[in-house]
C-alpha cells in the first residue's frame, strides 16, 4: 500500500481557550502542528501530507510549519468531517493518489513511530479493512439518568477509547465521507463511517501518550511528554 496523510487542523480549539488556536501554540519551542507533521515526515520521507486549516489561519499556519514539496494545505469546513473530506479529495486528485489515507488529528502530536508502523502493518495485511488505534477502558463505567442516579454498570470488557491515526482505503473512505456529507450525518471519528455502511474496522493497541490536546490542562501534560522525549 501507499499512504497519504490528512491532518485536520481547522477546528477552533474552543475547549483549549488561550487566544491562539491550539494547533499553533508552542510546546517547548515548537508548534503542535509542526510536531504532528514531523511525526509523519520522519516516518515516511516522501508521502503526501495534507494539512486542513481554517481560512483565517493561513498566515499562522505558514509561520508554524517546516514546509517541503510534499506538504500541501487546504481550507477546512465547519465540522471535523467536512475538513477531513477536503483532505481526502485533495489526496484523490494528486497525479499519483495513494492507495490508503491516514487521518490524524493535528491535536495529537505524541503518537509514536511504532504506532504508525502498527497501523501500517495492519493495512498491509488486510488492505480493505479499516484500522484504528484504541485503548481499552480501565475505569468502571456507570450509566446515569438525568438526575445523576446510576441506572446501570456498563460492562467495560469490550469497550475502547478511539485514537488516531485511522487508516482506510482512500477511495472507500472518500466515498463514505461524500455520502455522509450529503446525508448530513454527524460523527466524531472516521471509523464511524465504515461502521455505518457495514465495512470492517480493526482495533490495534493505542498508546496512553497519544493524547488529544483538548483542554488547557492537556498542555501541561504535553510539556511533560516533550521533556520525556528529549530529556
- For ligand CTP, the closer of residues 10 and 88 by Cβ is 10
- For ligand CTP, the closer of residues 171 and 212 by Cβ is 212
How many positions of this chain bind ligand CTP (CB under 6 A)? 22
- For Mg ion, the closer of residues 85 and 170 by Cβ is 85
- Check binding of 161 to ligand CTP (CB under 6 A): no
31, 73, 83, 210: which one binds ligand CTP (CB under 6 A): 83
Residue with cell 501518550: 209
Based on its alpha-carbon atoms, the radius of gyration of the chain, rounded to whole angstroms, reads 18
Cα–Cα distance, 38 to 28 (Å, whole number) = 15
- φ/ψ of 123, rounded to 5, equals -65, -40
25, 35, 41, 80: which one binds ligand CTP (CB under 6 A): 80
Residues 2-21 that bind Mg ion (CB under 5 A): 11
Reported in sequence order, the residue ranges of the chain that DSSP labels E, i.e. its strands, are: 3-8, 26-27, 30-31, 49-53, 71-75, 100-103, 130-136, 141-144, 150-154, 160-162, 166-169, 201-205
- Check binding of 44 to ligand CTP (CB under 6 A): no
- Check binding of 15 to ligand CTP (CB under 6 A): yes
Residue-wise burial string across 108-130, b where 16 or more C-beta atoms lie within 10 A, e elsewhere = bbbbeeebbebbbebbeeeeebb
- φ/ψ of 89, rounded to 5, equals -60, -45
| Cβ(21)–Cβ(13) below 8 Å | yes
- Check binding of 218 to ligand CTP (CB under 6 A): no
- For ligand CTP, the closer of residues 106 and 111 by Cβ is 106
Query: Smallest distance from the beta carbon of 9 to ligand CTP, in angstroms?
Result: 5
- Stretch of 66-74, 104-112, 127-135, 139-147 contacting ligand CTP, by CB under 6 A: 104-112
Cβ atoms within 10 A of the Cβ of 221, count?
14
Shortest-Cβ-distance residue relative to Mg ion: 11
- Interaction site with ligand CTP (CB under 6 A): 8-16, 23, 52, 76-80, 83, 105-107, 212, 214
- Interaction site with Mg ion (CB under 5 A): 11
Amino acid at each position: 500500500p501507499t499512504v497519504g496523510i490528512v491532518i485536520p487542523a481547522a477546528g477552533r480549539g474552543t475547549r483549549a481557550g488561550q487566544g491562539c488556536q491550539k494547533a499553533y501554540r508552542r510546546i517547548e519551542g515548537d508548534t503542535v502542528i509542526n510536531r504532528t507533521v514531523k511525526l509523519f515526515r520522519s516516518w515516511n520521507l516522501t508521502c503526501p501530507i495534507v494539512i486542513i486549516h481554517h481560512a483565517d489561519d493561513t498566515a499562522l499556519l505558514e509561520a508554524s510549519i517546516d514546509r517541503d514539496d510534499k506538504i500541501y494545505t487546504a481550507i477546512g469546513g465547519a465540522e471535523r468531517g467536512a475538513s477531513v473530506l477536503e483532505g481526502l479529495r485533495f489526496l484523490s486528485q494528486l497525479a499519483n493518489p495513494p492507495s490508503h489515507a491516514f487521518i490524524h488529528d493535528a491535536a495529537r502530536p505524541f503518537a509514536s513511530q511504532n504506532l504508525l508502523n502498527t497501523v501500517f502493518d495492519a493495512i498491509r495485511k488486510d488492505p480493505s479493512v479499516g484500522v484504528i488505534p484504541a485503548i481499552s477502558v480501565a475505569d468502571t463505567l456507570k450509566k446515569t439518568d438525568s438526575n445523576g442516579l446510576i441506572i446501570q454498570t456498563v460492562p467495560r470488557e469490550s469497550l475502547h477509547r478511539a485514537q488516531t491515526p485511522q487508516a482506510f482505503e482512500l477511495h472507500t473512505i472518500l466515498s463514505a465521507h461524500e455520502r455522509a456529507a450529503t446525508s448530513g450525518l454527524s460523527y466524531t471519528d472516521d471509523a464511524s463511517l465504515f461502521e455505518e455502511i457495514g465495512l470492517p474496522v480493526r482495533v490495534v493497541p493505542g498508546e496512553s501518550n497519544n493524547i488529544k490536546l483538548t483542554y488547557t490542562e492537556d498542555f501541561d501534560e504535553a510539556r511533560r511528554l516533550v521533556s520525556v522525549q528529549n530529556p
